[in-house]
Amino acid sequence: MPPEDSVRALVERIRAGARVSVLTGAGVSAASGIPTFRGPGGLWRDFRPEELATPEAFARDPLLVWEWYAWRRRLVAAAAPNRAHDVLAAWSRRYRGFALVTQNVDGLHERAGTAGVIRVHGSLWDLACRDRCAAAPARWREEAIELPELPPRCPHCGGLARPGVVWFGEALDPEVLAAADSAADCDVFLAIGTSAVVYPAAALLAQAAAHGALTAEINPEETPASASVDHYLSGRAEEVLDRLERGLTTAAFRV
């Protein structure tokens, strides 16, 4: 369990009306049965995610990459949000100025009831035209769990469609990045369940600190960010967020 003085410090700030921003990574969905890339279960047919989630992998073998995404879509469709998603959804309704930036592509924050999620890496449920044909929107939603055809086609030009996610080596959408930058202007910034090595996780933490925010990290493993945050709360997202939520909602909890 995380140190009680860290829990108290965060509860005190949030209760005093702090603007809270949260950055989440794959660890938040681990308790829902969605494997993280680097943790147990992250491999698919002996491929590492880094070998599949790239434009080069898609150019080489679009069917293989699509089979991996089809598997992930099925896995996520069968999963449910966990306590971590639920606590953050409650905060989004309760605290003015709350912002949630996620690297996750699974949509579980939205399914838990968080509105306005800033998705820096796109969504498993979006598709895009590989050739960015003029007729197609930048992305479109396809929520049918089983796609009618693999690899799917762009309905506008008939060319290949690709997953509407950001792959390793690709640039982030500037508008989404601007929204994430704005979220870093806050009073309390929490990085939860991210290894903090994939851009922009580390950058957002540093920006939040530069804005004078109290920074904290929730992760059962130390990361490159752990030493520099104000509070490192060692533990699983679903347990530590439950502890914080009890502190925030229990009148008897002394801060």
Binding site for ligand NAD (CB under 6 A): 25-27, 29-31, 34, 36-39, 103-106, 121, 193-195, 198, 218-221, 223, 236-237
Residue-by-residue DSSP string for 131-198: T--TTS-S-EE---SS-SSSS-B-TTTSSBEEEEEPPTTPPPPHHHHHHHHHHTSSSEEEEES--S-S
Mapped onto helix, strand or coil, the DSSP state of residue 63 is: helix
CB-based contacts of 59, cutoff 8 Å, min separation 6? none
Q: Which residue is nearest to ligand NAD (CB)?
A: 27
121 part of the active site: yes
Nearer residue to ligand NAD within complex by CB, 83 or 153? 83
What whole-number distance in Å separates Cα of residue 204 and Cα of residue 185?
9
Contact criterion met (CB below 8 Å) for 25 and 108: no
Nearer residue to ligand NAD within complex by CB, 188 or 218? 218
What whole-number distance in Å separates Cα of residue 200 and Cα of residue 120?
9
The active-site residue out of 85, 109, 121, 231 is 121
Catalytic residues: 121
